[in-house]
Amino acid sequence: MRHDWTRDEVQEIMDLPFPELIFRAQLAHRAYFDPTRVQISTLLSIKTGGCPEDCAYCPQSALHEQSVKADKLMEVEKVLREARAAKAAGAGRFCMGAAWRSPKERDLDTVCAMIEGVKELGLETCVTLGMLDAQQSQRLRDAGLDYYNHNLDTSPEYYDKIITTRTYQDRLDTLANVRDAGINVCCGGIVGMGEDESDRAGLIATLASLPQHPESVPINLLVRVAGTPLADAEAVDPITFARVVAAARITMPASHVRLAAGRELMSDEAHALVFLAGANSIFCGDKLLTTPNPAEHRDRKLLASLGMKPMTDA
């Protein structure tokens, strides 16, 4: 597996004639996966809003002109109730997100109890809590955490147009701490924040040049939320989005590439195109963290019409 992808090489891949690009993505996909299977994760916001970071895309930042109401950290029992429902709906992994810059010790105790409880249900666990040091990563690992989500979001060059309250290097440091603790890494980015093609190539090249590819690579289409600085960002078309997914699939062939946020506004045909480009994971359930996601019956119908199945099904 290569770990030395340059931005120019990724850009050349992304710019291939579309039939050539999809063919190469399909070859890469089939070398490691059954292309009819999709990994299904469910998201729950365990601590919503009031975040001190200034991520321009995010409705949970307290620094934007309008943001979601801030809630306290949820109770463990309530989280486990949601996890049971997610399992019944067919999820294989349960992802819990908190709007923190980084977790406090006492909060980490509660999150560890959530991880233990969710694991007991037979689900894979994932959390996203902001920046982590080595010790915090180890505590999560000891609680049985399977995946940690922490996105690079965009290219190193475009990053400071989007976030000023922490650096790209901070993110890379957290990823290294998570990796060293023996936790699987879930790391991707967002398309549609006003970045150019070379930034998209820069994001994929950075992800594909990490010492180990992230096991899970979420590619989010920006959900444009009123009151955030990116509320009026220019929309990205499904073909451009599929090109980014295909580049992720070709450069990180053994990773689960997730068609993450942004599905609510995507047609069934756009979904199909992105699956053909090599995506093999989605978030199911009618809500992401704070914004809508397709209803369960729509996803079930869509997968059935494509002859695709959850990875956990027989």
Known catalytic residues are 51, 55, 58, 95, 126, 186, 258
Nearer to ligand DTB, 155 or 220 (CB): 220
**Cα separation of 17 and 47, whole Å?**
44
* Phi-psi domain of 196 (left: phi exceeds 0; alpha: psi -120 through 50; beta: other): beta
Q: What are φ and ψ of residue 219, in 5° steps?
A: -110, 110
Out of ligand DTB, ligand SF4, ligand SAM, none, what residue 290 binds, judged by CB under 5 to 8 A for its kind, is ligand DTB
Out of ligand SF4, ligand DTB, ligand SAM, none, what residue 222 binds, judged by CB under 5 to 8 A for its kind, is ligand SAM
CB 28 within 8 A of CB 46: no
Question: Least distance (Å) from ligand DTB to the CB of residue 111?
Answer: 14
Q: How does 225-256 read in b/e, with b if 16+ C-beta sit within 10 Å? A: beebbbbebeebebeebbbbbbbbbbbbbebb
DSSP code string of 152-203: -BS-TTTGGGT--SS-HHHHHHHHHHHHHTTPEEE--EEE-SS--HHHHHHH
Out of ligand DTB, ligand SAM, ligand SF4, none, what residue 251 binds, judged by CB under 5 to 8 A for its kind, is none
Q: What is the identity of the amino acid at 231?
A: A
**How far, in Å, are 65, 76, 118, 207, 251 from residue 127 at the CA level?**
27, 14, 11, 19, 25
Question: Least distance (Å) from ligand SF4 to the CB of residue 100?
Answer: 7
- Tokens 């801030």, residue? 70
CB 251 within 8 A of CB 10: yes
Question: Least distance (Å) from ligand SAM to the CB of residue 30?
Answer: 28
Nearer to ligand DTB, 220 or 251 (CB): 220
Q: Report if residue 162 touches ligand DTB, rule: CB under 6 A.
A: no
Q: Is 95 annotated as a binding residue?
A: yes
Q: Report if residue 166 touches ligand SAM, rule: CB under 6 A.
A: no
CB 149 within 8 A of CB 127: yes
Residue list 58-117, contact with ligand SAM (CB under 6 A): 58, 60, 97, 99-100
Contacting residue, 53, 124, 195, 199, with ligand SF4 by CB under 6 A: 53
Q: Per-residue contact track with ligand DTB, 4 to 23, x per CB under 6 A?
A: --------------------
Q: Per-residue contact track with ligand DTB, 174 to 213, x per CB under 6 A?
A: --------------x-------------------------
**Cα separation of 226 and 240, whole Å?**
24
Q: Which residues bind ligand SAM (CB under 6 A)?
A: 57-58, 60, 97, 99-100, 128, 130, 150-151, 153, 190, 220, 222-223, 225, 261, 289
Interface with ligand DTB by CB under 6 A: which residues? Answer: 43, 59, 97, 128, 149, 151, 188, 218, 220, 223, 260-261, 288-291
